[in-house]
Amino acid sequence: MPIREIRWALMLNVAIYPASRLIRIPDGVDTRTAGSTMLRGLTAHMLLNKVREVRAGDWILVHSAAGGLGQIVTRWATMKGARVIGTTGSQEKVATARLAGASEVLLHTDAAWPDKVRDITEGYGVHLAIDGIGGTMLSRTLGVVRPFGIVASLGQPAGPIPPVRVEELGFARSIALMRPSSLAYSDDAALYRKGATDLMSALSAGLENHIGAEFTLTDAAEAHRVLEAGHTTGSVILTVQA
């Protein structure tokens, strides 16, 4: 089996990896930070540079802004000068999203959150919306994007996404819907190396990746239970014995 087919979704203390895919970790960035950030960091790079080239002044909506991906996207977007509206599923996670840099944090359990997003953006809507929740969240998210804006649908832990009528994206709205994949992004050697290099530079410049929980490799099943229960904020990592 080619190595590229097995490089994700495994939990090992030793792995064979192509030399061409290795990335130099700069001085000042420890292996714990680099290792825990790589997948989410590449996903964030894809969202903020490939899905949309985010610029200073852009409005970005980040659902689940207190989660691991949500926090690093929020931090990196604000480093680029964007303004982030974050959502969380509980009041307890609001402070975490604010600490990551979100200028406004809303509860996505509040039925009025789309109206509040439009109010915050003075009726224009956001330039980029990132939905990793799925279910009915996507249809509501499509309604808060400004003309020629983009919605990135990353996952659906809340359940299947109802069908989206393509014609509803056009006419006066003219918005784009994308289903980006970090696996496809990393399969492109040039994008992978550019993304990883930019990520290491951003970590050196102060980008943080919050580690919310840490388990040993032998406790991997418990780590999955904690993740599925939604009790964590930030990244969940597994450690191995040296």
Percentage of residues of the chain with pLDDT beyond 90 = 63
Mean per-residue pLDDT of the chain = 90
Q: What's the pLDDT tens digit per position in 43-54?
A: 999 999 999 999
Tokens 């970590």 -> residue: 203
Instruction: Note the pLDDT of residue 233.
Output: 74
pLDDT of 121 > 80? The answer is yes
* Domain spans, the chain: 3-239
- 178, β-bridge pairs: 152
Band the pLDDT of 242: cuts 50, 70, 90: low
CA distance 100 to 78: 9
CA within 13 Å, CB half, 214: 8
- 214, β-bridge pairs: 237
pLDDT of 3 > 70? The answer is no
Q: What's the pLDDT tens digit per position in 58-105?
A: 999 999 999 889 999 999 999 999 999 999 999 999 999 999 999 999
Sheet of strand 176-178, all strands in order from the earlier edge strand to the far edge? 104-107, 83-88, 59-62, 126-131, 145-153, 176-178
Residue 148 phi/psi, 5° resolution?
A: 70, 15
Answer for the pair 211, 10: CB distance below 8 angstroms, yes or no: no
- In total, the chain counts a number of residues equal to 242
Residue 26 carries which DSSP code? P
Q: What's the pLDDT tens digit per position in 172-196?
A: 679 999 999 998 998 999 999 999 9
Percentage of residues of the chain with pLDDT beyond 70 = 95
Give the homologous superfamily in CATH for domain 3-239: NAD(P)-binding Rossmann-like Domain (3.40.50.720)
Looking at this protein, which amino acid is placed at residue 110?
D
- Surface-to-core class of residue 36, CB atoms within 10 Å of its CB (0-12 exposed, 13-18 middle, 19+ buried): buried
**SS3 of 122, please?**
coil
